[in-house]
Amino acid sequence: MAAHYTKKDARFQVEFRSSDRATAHGGQLALNALWKHFGLWERVKRARALDPRIHKGKGYDPVVYVAQVLFCLTSGGVSLADAERLDEDGSVKALLGLEKCPDQTALGQWLRQVGAAGGWEALRQINRDFVQWTLSQAGPGRYRHNGRVECFFDDTQLEVNGPSFEGAKMNYEGNLALSWQTLWVGPMLADSVLGSSTESKESKSSDQAGNDVSGCLLALLEQNHRLWDKAQSYLYADSASSAGKYLEGIAEYFGAWSVSYNKWTEPLEPKAAELPEMAWSGVEKTRWRDGTEHQAQYAWFRHQPGGCQTPKLFAVVRHKAMEGELFWRYAFVTCQEQTGSPQQAFEHHRLKGDKERAFSELLSDLDLHHPPCQDLKANRVFYALATLAYNALMALKLIHLPEGEQAKRVRTLIRHWLLVPVELKRHARQLKACLYLPAGWIAWWRGFLAQWLPQCRQLGRIADSS
């Protein structure tokens, strides 16, 4: 017969000790080593906009504030109050080289002062450099798809409560919100801008590009295009980025791209209806987004939207329900010039859903739906630090974790990889850290620390768990 397993009450003794002997955040050793190898702490020290102090020999250095927020966000914390609690963990401070951490009041004051001095721009540049460094360290197969670096532009609305949030306005859904426009390169968040929301989701006409949720797209492309090679890149964007001015900018910086086009379809639908039958692909059955069974056909045609210097290639699908629907409905995607089938263009563009899910994971796993401050510039600094924290987790995954771990999301990495128990032992003037790891990960940690923390001597063989 098979063995029988059940649950029993365990009998044990309990002993309480202060947190200067052990911590559950031993995995921060890995992040500290990664940031040190990149040179983050030195870059922060050189950034004058991050140090608003008049007397540089007093108070906290800016590297303390930056490290405190980063280590908070990468260990499951979501607020300035959580960052303050780092000061209560003597062991993790000893491991990371921090003597004392400021409270949440001092953190908020630093965020406001640095935001007013333009510190969020300095952090954006550091983050761009970190993304470039990560992509140079990681194997291309880890972040490329079919040999191309896939980029993604999107905006999310951060809903807030109360009129005290600076920059918050009623958005196109009628909610008080801030706008966070983001540009992704591979799995990493290369750059972003947090600002006021807008009443319109897209430009009022195709030949305009103004105060809408893609208003920062062209500036972000200009500031970050060095992160990808035009001939080996691909951009996904939704219909908010389909104004003519945006399409021209996208074509300037990307060799391949696809943008949803469902805003200014008045001239497109008659043009698609006039296409001869030979222009359409064969009828095929497909399951539509609403779950119903449709028949669909695909075709190519060209159209010059307002604001574009040249005609653009459009893929169109006409579809209707198998039963109960007489007239065709149309959907459009505009893309670069290509010789493939229009159906393949739609199928490729649907991969945008994976990028949107990654954005959703960032917002939920780091709880970035809730800005911590009422000051807009302070929130910009906080979100720039959150971006750097997220990218550090992605960097560790891309560069070091095995292939089977690449699909892990942020909260999984934090729970099962960074929350590593470590016990500190002090003897004479030496500090020894005893990491308690799953047996299958001991060899990985040995190799990682040997490469990235060579100044830390590893002792003996693996101790017997008994």
Does residue 70 surpass a pLDDT of 70?
yes
Mean pLDDT for 189-193 is 96
Average pLDDT, the chain: 89
148-159 vs 233-237, strand pairing mode: parallel
Angle between helices 244-253 and 217-224 in degrees, nearest 10: 10
Q: Is the pLDDT of residue 466 over 50?
A: no
Q: 435-442: long-range contacts at Cβ-Cβ below 8 A with a sequence spacing of 24 or more?
A: 435/26, 435/29, 436/26, 439/465
Q: At what angle do helices 104-116 and 62-73 cross, to 10 degrees?
A: 110
pLDDT per position as a tens digit, 290-332: 778 889 999 999 999 988 999 999 999 999 888 778 888 999 9
Q: How confident is the model at residue 464 (pLDDT cuts 50, 70, 90)?
A: very low
pLDDT band at 454 (very low <50, low <70, confident <90, very high): confident
Structure tokens at 466: 């008994």
- The domains found in the chain, sorted by start residue, are 15-117+401-466 (no CATH), 122-360 (3.90.350.10)
258 versus 455: which is more confidently predicted? 258
Amino acid letter for position 53: R
Q: What is the pTM of this model?
A: 0.91
C-alpha dist (Å) from residue 27 to 34, 71, 144, 414: 11, 10, 28, 9
The dihedral formed by the CA atoms of 445, 446, 452 and 456, expressed in degrees to the nearest 10: 120
Q: Is 462 exposed, middle or buried (0-12, 13-18, 19+ CB in 10 A)?
A: exposed
Strands 233-237 vs 256-260: parallel, antiparallel or unpaired: parallel
CA pair distance 352, 354, nearest whole angstrom: 5
Closest CA to 342 of 287, 288, 297: 297
Per-residue pLDDT tens digits for 232-246: 999 999 988 888 889
Q: What tens digit of pLDDT does each residue of 413-443 get?
A: 898 888 889 888 887 778 888 888 888 888 8
- pLDDT the model gives residue 217: 93
Q: What integer is the mean pLDDT of 67-80? A: 93
